């Protein structure tokens, strides 16, 4: 029988153990990179969801405002739109949901939720309104995802019966 050349003997047990250890280190570092990527994707998705909900709610309120009869506006109760969009009213309930309901619903008990995770809602007149822009409303909405620490704040100005400014 012929003797084998030293280069064709294969791996020794120590060489195999070193290769497995190096492979485990490489896989462990790749695992942390993948975990960071998944976390970043979840945070991005959370922020996008908040922005989408906020834009949807503001667009829905803007559409109602465009169809509302222009009227002189008085300051509504906190966290509501008052009678500005009569017969519809928007209000923030205790569950951090923006509700679309009737103006007669003073307790904000309606069931039509147009946005959740809402930490702030305001309906105001612009500072220093004059006779020309009396029926202008400034709608503000802040949505917060406490689990991810994300906050999105949106606002729009709209003229009742006349469209967006």
For 41-92, what is each residue's pLDDT tens digit? 877 788 888 889 999 999 998 888 888 877 777 888 888 888 888 888 899 9
Q: Which of 57, 92, 76, 54 is nearest to 137 (CA)?
A: 76
**Cis bond upstream, residue 87 (ω within 30):** yes
Query: Cα(64)–Cα(163) distance, rounded to whole angstroms?
Result: 10
Q: Are 159 and 136 spatial neighbours (Cβ–Cβ below 8 Å)? A: yes
What mean pLDDT comes out for the span 105-113?
87
pLDDT in tens, 116-130: 999 999 888 877 655
pLDDT of residue 26: 92
Query: Cα(115)–Cα(124) distance, rounded to whole angstroms?
Result: 19
pLDDT in tens, 128-155: 655 555 578 888 999 998 887 888 999 9
pLDDT of residue 1: 54
Which has the higher per-residue pLDDT, 156 or 74?
Answer: 156
Residue with tokens 């906190």: 78
Q: What is the DSSP letter of 6?
A: G
CA distances from 43 to 51, 80, 121 (A): 13, 30, 23
Which has the higher per-residue pLDDT, 105 or 20?
Answer: 20
Q: Which residues pair with 92 in a beta bridge?
A: 98
**163: pLDDT strictly greater than 70:** no
What mean pLDDT comes out for the span 10-25?
90
Cβ neighbours of residue 66 closer than 8 Å, sequence gap 6 or more: 158, 160, 161, 162, 163, 164
pLDDT of residue 6: 57
Q: Are 70 and 137 spatial neighbours (Cβ–Cβ below 8 Å)? A: no
Residue with tokens 């809402």: 118
pLDDT of residue 106: 82
């Amino acid at each position: 029988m012929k003797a084998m050349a030293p280069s064709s003997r294969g791996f020794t047990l120590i060489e195999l153990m070193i290769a497995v250890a190096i492979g485990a280190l490489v896989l462990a570092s790749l695992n942390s990179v993948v975990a960071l990527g998944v976390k970043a994707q979840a945070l991005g998705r959370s922020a996008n969801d908040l922005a989408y909900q906020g834009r949807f709610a503001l667009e829905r309120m803007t559409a109602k405002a465009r169809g509302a009869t222009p009227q002189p506006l008085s300051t509504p109760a906190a966290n509501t739109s008052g009678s500005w969009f009569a017969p519809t009213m928007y209000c923030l309930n205790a569950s951090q949901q923006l509700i679309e309901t009737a103006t007669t619903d003073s307790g904000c008990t309606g069931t039509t939720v147009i946005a959740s995770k809402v930490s702030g809602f305001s309906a105001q007149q612009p500072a220093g309104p004059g006779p020309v822009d009396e029926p202008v409303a400034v709608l503000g909405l802040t949505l917060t995802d406490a689990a991810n620490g994300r906050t999105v704040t949106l606002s729009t100005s709209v003229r009742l019966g006349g469209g967006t400014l």
